Amino acid sequence: MAAPAPLLEVTHLLMRFGGLTAVSDLDFVARTGEITAVIGPNGAGKTTVFNCITGFYRPTSGALALMHADGHRYALERLPGHQIARRAKVARTFQNIRLFAGMTVLENLMVAQHNALMPSVVNGLLAVFGLGGHRAAERVALDKARGWLDTIGLLDRADDPAGALPYGAQRRLEIARAMCIDPVLLCLDEPAAGLNPRESEELSELLTRIRAGGCSILLIEHDMGVVMRISDHIVVLDHGKKISDGTPAEVRADPRVIAAYLGEGDEDEEPAPHDASAAA
């Protein structure tokens, strides 16, 4: 089977904060239709890579190229922040959930479709007088939001404030909100953090379903159970450098990966053999 087309190509990515080098000379490829996981001990530079890809940091040097199926190529390191979500269609979630807590679950999903609803400020202002085809666009957006609420099982809580949801539901809502921009690449920063085993199971299912729907996923995760179960491809970082890259089975067998995790002395993050049996 031929490898799928590359979706995101990271080449020679370098990110410095003053004297501190957070990421140095990083190369990796995320392929279309795959779940790519970025793992590594705390402080390895995973979130920094994410912030570079999603435009929250401007890399010191290096290139981040995103290829759409229609052949259009976006240089993410040069796009202004909001254009990465709007034009390049890269969506993200945050390590510490960032929902619009005082708005309802439904409103959160409607805000996410802002650009579809309001292509320009002029359209937005015309809508005050009921012009500019806003009604039809709103109906489409509402249907999409309802569809996602159904998928994440929050349809009956649509009119509750997002801040009042239980933690696991907030995680799912944040993913659904990101999916509402119709992304080609969904970047998830530790989506399983703080979830119980049942919720992690549901999350894995949700991510597999999103992948089946045609959206590729880039994932930072500490929960090795989730990573090993659903990833197609894993990139391992340590101290800002890539130390391993391959399928879950390859990475698990890599002595450098084991050394990095054991050297960190953190039992929870060790890709130990029992994880392998859990994945099997």
Partner 1 sequence: MSGRPAGPAAALRDAALSALVALGLFAGLIGLHLVPTDNGLRLVGRPWALAIVVLAVFVGRLLLLTWQRVRPSGAPATRRLAEAVTHAGRYVAPVFLLAAVALPLYGGRYMLDTGILVLTYVMLGWGLTIVVGLAGLLDLGYVAFYAVGAYSYALLATNFHLGFWTLLPVSGILAALWGVMLGFPVLRLRGDYLAIVTLAFGEIIRVVLINWTSLTGGSNGITDIPRPTLFGLKFNGSGDPDTFATFFHLPYSVTQRFVFLYYVILALALLTNWVSLRLRRLPLGRAWEALREDEVACRALGINVTITKLTAFGMGAMFGGFAGAFFATRQGFISPESFNFMESALVLSIVVLGGLGSQLGVALAAVVMIGGSELFRDFDEYRMLIFGLALVVMMVLRPRGLVAGRTPSIALGARREIAAELVAQGRG
Which residues bind to partner 1, rule: CB under 8 A? 54-56, 81-86, 91-92, 94, 98-104, 106-107, 110-112, 114-115, 117-118, 121, 124-125, 127-128, 134, 142, 146, 155, 158-161, 163-164, 177-178, 181
Q: At what angle do helices 197-212 and 167-179 cross, to 10 degrees?
A: 10
User: What are the structure tokens assigned to 14, written together?
Assistant: 């370098």
Place of tokens 């959160």: 108
Cα–Cα distance for residue pair 270/232, rounded to 1 Å: 19
Residues in the chain: 280
CB of 109 to partner 1, least distance (A): 10
Taken in order 173, 110, 53, 185, is the CA torsion positive or negative?
A: positive
Distance CA 75, CA 243 (A): 25
Q: Which is nearer to partner 1, 58 or 82 (CB)?
A: 82
Nearest-approach distance from CB 67 to partner 1, in angstroms: 19
CB of 49 closer than 8 Å to CB of 13: yes
The smaller minimum CB distance to partner 1, of residues 167 and 247, is found at 167
What's the sign of the alpha-carbon dihedral 122, 128, 132, 136?
A: positive
CB 47 within 8 A of CB 240: no
- Whose Cβ is closer to partner 1: residue 166's or residue 273's? 166
Pairing of strands 241-246, 233-238: antiparallel
Rounded CA gap, 249 and 11, in Å? 24
Q: Can you tell me the distance from the alpha carbon of 29 to that of 64, in angstroms, rounded to the nearest whole number? A: 10
**Residue 247 Cβ vs partner 1, minimum distance, rounded to whole Å:** 30
Q: Which is nearer to partner 1, 124 or 225 (CB)?
A: 124
Q: Which is nearer to partner 1, 73 or 98 (CB)?
A: 98
Nearer to partner 1, 54 or 244 (CB): 54
Return the number of the residue (1 or 128) whose C-beta is nearest partner 1. 128
Which residue intervals of 5-102 are DSSP H helices? 46-53, 81-86
Shortest Å, Cβ 248 to partner 1 = 28
Beta carbon nearer to partner 1, 24 or 151: 151
In the chain, at which residue ranges do the beta strands (DSSP E only) sit?
Answer: 6-17, 20-31, 35-39, 61-67, 73-75, 90-92, 185-189, 216-220, 233-238, 241-246
**Least CB distance to partner 1 at residue 267 (A):** 33
Asked whether the beta carbons of 41 and 241 are under 8 A apart, the reply is no
- Minimum gap (Å) between residue 102 Cβ and partner 1: 3
Least CB distance to partner 1 at residue 178 (A): 8
Instruction: Kindly state the smallest distance separating residue 219's Cβ from partner 1, in Å.
Output: 16
